[in-house]
């Protein structure tokens, strides 16, 4: 007969914060209600940006910096390059994003969010997971910056 497993020791050793820290905001982007939610887990940061309550494109960005000599810290650009996404961040589409231009816009948006997180916390190592549910009217410059501004309000 198998021995019973004592789960009381697990409660003491895991001591993780629960529930995950959640921040959210909403605003109008090109006249469309846009909701942003950021959930910070112990191993991941999840950002969802949705319009009309949908999420159709999922991406992830590893935030851990493994470049030698950086001690895990992100090196931030200076001067004119400071506004550009960090070059060492790689965005990968997990689901969706296959309509023309949607994948490129989503990847740029995910890298910009990851850069903002790295600027706030240069030692960030958690995986960034981004869920997007944006309409076609968000492909212009003003919409892009309005969405980034909403995300920055939650960081």
Indicate which CATH number applies to the domain containing 49.
3.30.230.90
Residue 8 domain flag: no
| Domain containing residue 29 | 19-63+104-154
Q: Is 122 a domain residue?
A: yes
Please say whether the beta carbons of 96 and 27 come within 8 A.
Answer: no
- The β-bridge relationship of strands 44-51 and 32-40 is antiparallel
C-alpha–C-alpha distance, residues 27 and 84, integer Å: 24
Cα 26 off chain centre by: 16
Q: Which of 44, 37, 90, 34 is nearest to 65 (CA)?
A: 90
pTM > 0.85: yes or no: no
β partners of residue 59: 93, 130
Look at the chain and report how many structural domains it folds into: 1
Q: pLDDT tens string for the chain (155 positions)?
A: 556 655 555 555 455 566 788 999 999 999 999 999 999 998 999 999 999 888 999 999 998 866 555 555 555 555 555 556 777 788 889 988 777 677 888 899 999 999 999 888 888 889 999 999 988 766 788 998 999 999 999 98
């Amino acid at each position: 007969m198998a021995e019973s497993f004592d789960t009381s020791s697990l409660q003491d050793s895991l001591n993780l914060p629960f529930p995950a820290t959640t921040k959210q905001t909403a605003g109008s982007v090109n006249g469309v209600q846009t909701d942003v939610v950021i959930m910070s887990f112990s191993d991941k940061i999840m950002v969802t940006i949705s319009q009309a309550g949908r999420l159709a494109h999922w991406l992830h960005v590893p935030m851990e910096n493994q470049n030698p000599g950086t001690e895990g810290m992100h090196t931030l650009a200076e001067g004119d390059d400071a506004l550009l996404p960090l070059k060492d961040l790689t965005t990968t589409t997990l689901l969706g994003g296959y309509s023309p231009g949607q994948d490129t816009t989503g990847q740029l948006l995910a890298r910009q969010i990851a850069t903002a997180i790295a600027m706030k916390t240069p030692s960030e190592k958690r995986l960034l997971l981004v869920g997007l549910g944006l309409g076609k009217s968000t492909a212009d410059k003003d919409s892009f910056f309005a969405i980034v501004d909403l995300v920055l309000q939650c960081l």
